Amino acid sequence: MTGLRDRDIVVGIDPARDWHLPLAWAADEAQRRRLPLRLVLAVPPRHDTRHVDGTPGQMALRRAGADRLEQTCDWVRDRHPEVNVTGDLLGGFPAPSLCGAAKEARLIVLGSRRLSRTAEFFSAGSIVVPVSAQARCPVVVVGDAEHISQQPPYVVAGIDGSASATAAVAFAFDEADLRGAALRVVCVWQRPVIMLDGEEVALRAQRSLLSETTAGLSDKYPDVHVTHEVLTGHPVEELARAAEHALAVIVGRRGRGGYTGMRLGSVVHGLLHRAHCPVITVPTE
């Protein structure tokens, strides 16, 4: 992950939701990683015409957006004066605009309205689902504050043997190392209807998977205390329970890997509604 440390952290600013939690998370992360912070606010078209950008209503939206960006940049400077923060006001729909602006980003950080799955999919202003599915970099969705009072602090990484899960574990080691936190690497086994080899054989295979996925990373991050856990049940329920007091829960992105047999975003959707900490999805590099 060291090759990405010179990239910036991008925050999607949504005037319709509270920006304090995601912006605080992003500002703190930028300070820890010594990275620049870029705040992006997209103003969508009000009508499907060629003259949208010149309408009085659109100009008013752009002025309001510029004011919000200035306000949020000032807020970051007050919190971390050493962080280099800039604001980008873009025209277009939020999700594609944000993905385009963050092609070379180290991270994208978003807030969450905690909408239902249907509302999240069909809301015109929704950015969490499409950005999490399409971004080329890890996406952090901050719906609740991280549990900084938990001692010792820890990060949870969920794995399933896919390439994206391997990338998620590598990111989780890096995140735990930066924060001086422990790392709980969790594999969730769902008991099948028909068992061919027996439960103990299946669980032994999951334990081997945990060892293989973290092989070499403990040497690279000797200060990170790592535990391996095989849990039985549904991935969303068990990961949310494991991350109840975590700084973050980190999973690979379905589409280039992810939890076998689950649709793109299904684990992320579930964790967004169940996990009481930031949720980070990591694509395959």
Note the pLDDT tens digit of each residue in 199-231.
777 778 778 888 888 888 989 999 999 999 988
Confidence band, pLDDT 50/70/90 cuts, at residue 257: very low
Helix (H, G, I), strand (E, B) or coil at 169: helix
Give the H/E segment covering residue 58. Answer: helix 56-79
- Per-residue pLDDT, 56: 67
Q: For helices 56-79 and 20-33, give the axis angle rounded to 10 degrees.
A: 50
- Per-residue pLDDT, 58: 76
pLDDT for residue 66 is more than 80: yes
Could you tell me the two tokens for 282? 């990591």
Q: What is the pTM of this model?
A: 0.85
- Per-residue pLDDT, 182: 96
**Positions of E strands within the chain:** 9-12, 37-43, 85-91, 107-111, 139-142, 154-159, 182-189, 226-232, 249-252, 279-282
How are strands ordered across the β-sheet holding 85-91?
Answer: 85-91, 37-43, 9-12, 107-111, 139-142, 279-282, 249-252, 154-159, 182-189, 226-232
Residue type, 165: A
155 Cα distance to chain centroid: 13
Which DSSP state fits 25? H
Instruction: Express as a percent the part of the chain with pLDDT over 90.
Output: 42
- The whole-angstrom separation of Cα 215 and Cα 157 is 15
14 Cα distance to chain centroid: 16
pLDDT for residue 193 is more than 60: no
Confidence band, pLDDT 50/70/90 cuts, at residue 251: very high
**Longest pairwise C-alpha distance within the chain:** 69
- The whole-angstrom separation of Cα 69 and Cα 46 is 20
Task: Find out whether 7 and 106 touch, Cβ atoms under 8 Å.
Answer: yes
Helix (H, G, I), strand (E, B) or coil at 193: coil
- The whole-angstrom separation of Cα 161 and Cα 261 is 13
Question: Which residue carries 């509270």 as its tokens?
Answer: 18
User: What residues contact residue 83 under an 8 Å CB cut-off, 6+ apart?
Assistant: 27, 30, 31, 36, 37, 76, 77
